[in-house]
């Protein structure tokens, strides 16, 4: 298993965020890092995504040398290539495409595809995904995760969409059978200090 995927699995949390405001992007990533999470998904959802990512990689390398900074919402092979060239540590897709899978596998770049059904999870696994994103969590629910663990007990799963920024909810998802929880809008409505405190609390409780 790729060391970056191991780092994500060890963290059990993957914060994900984008803003057109660079300073807000930087401060929110730093808040999570200071809270004890050394992996982050910068989502490719805005005009300045590539520009911000390039700058973040440069600025964060000096301050957070062990941080793994990946890119989410990657649909096309072209975007995957561009972000790989900018130094992305991993690629997250909202879908599962063979072209991106092949590119990432050839480059030994960790790839986390997005899926929903049991068949999609299995096909992503066959394409080489070591960690698979199940989305949307708020629609599928924890019982769905419990159900698919019967036929697919060994596949590593991350859930995103609707995960609450609380230790109680994250622990419930982990108990249901996911390996990682993606935290987005539920977390980033807070101030950087509050984000850091929340992340630290969740981390301490799920690793106790």
> pLDDT by residue (tens digit) across 95-150?
999 999 999 999 999 999 999 999 999 999 999 999 999 999 999 999 999 999 99
Q: State both tokens at 103.
A: 């590119």
Mean pLDDT on 29-54: 97
Q: What percent of the chain has pLDDT over 90?
A: 96
- Report domain extents, the chain: 3-206
Q: What percent of the chain has pLDDT over 70?
A: 100
CA distance 45 to 65: 25
Q: What are the tens digits of pLDDT across the range 120-129?
A: 999 999 999 9
Please give the biggest Cα pair distance in the chain: 45
Beta strands in the chain (DSSP E): 13-17, 39-43, 68-72, 91-92, 111-112, 114-115, 132-134, 157-159, 180-183
Q: What are the tens digits of pLDDT across the range 68-89?
A: 999 999 999 999 999 999 999 9
- 50, 136, 161, 200 from 184: Cα distances, Å: 19, 12, 8, 16
- How high is the pLDDT of residue 146? 96
Average pLDDT, the chain: 96
Q: Is a pLDDT exceeding 90 seen at residue 208? A: no
Block residue for tokens 């298993």: 1
What kind of fold does domain 3-206 have according to CATH? TIM Barrel (3.20.20)
Question: Is the full-model pTM beyond 0.85?
Answer: yes
């Amino acid at each position: 298993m790729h060391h970056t995927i191991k780092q994500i699995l060890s963290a059990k949390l993957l914060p994900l965020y984008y803003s057109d405001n660079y300073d807000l992007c930087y401060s929110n990533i730093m808040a999570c890092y200071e809270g004890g999470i050394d992996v982050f998904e910068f989502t490719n959802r805005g005009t300045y995504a590539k520009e911000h990512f390039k700058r973040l990689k440069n600025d964060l390398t000096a301050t957070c040398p062990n941080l793994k900074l990946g890119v989410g919402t990657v649909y096309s092979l072209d975007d995957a290539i561009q972000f790989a060239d900018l130094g992305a540590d991993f690629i997250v897709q909202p879908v599962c495409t063979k072209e991106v899978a092949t590119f990432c596998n050839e480059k030994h770049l960790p790839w986390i595809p997005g899926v929903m059904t049991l068949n999609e999870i299995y096909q992503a696994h066959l394409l080489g995904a070591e960690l698979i994103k199940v989305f949307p969590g708020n629609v599928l629910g924890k019982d769905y995760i419990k159900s698919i663990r019967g036929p697919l007990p060994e596949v590593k799963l991350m859930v995103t969409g609707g995960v609450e920024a609380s230790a109680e909810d994250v622990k419930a998802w982990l108990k249901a059978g996911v390996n990682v929880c993606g935290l987005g809008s539920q977390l980033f409505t807070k101030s950087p200090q509050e984000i850091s405190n929340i992340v630290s609390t969740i981390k301490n409780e799920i690793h106790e």
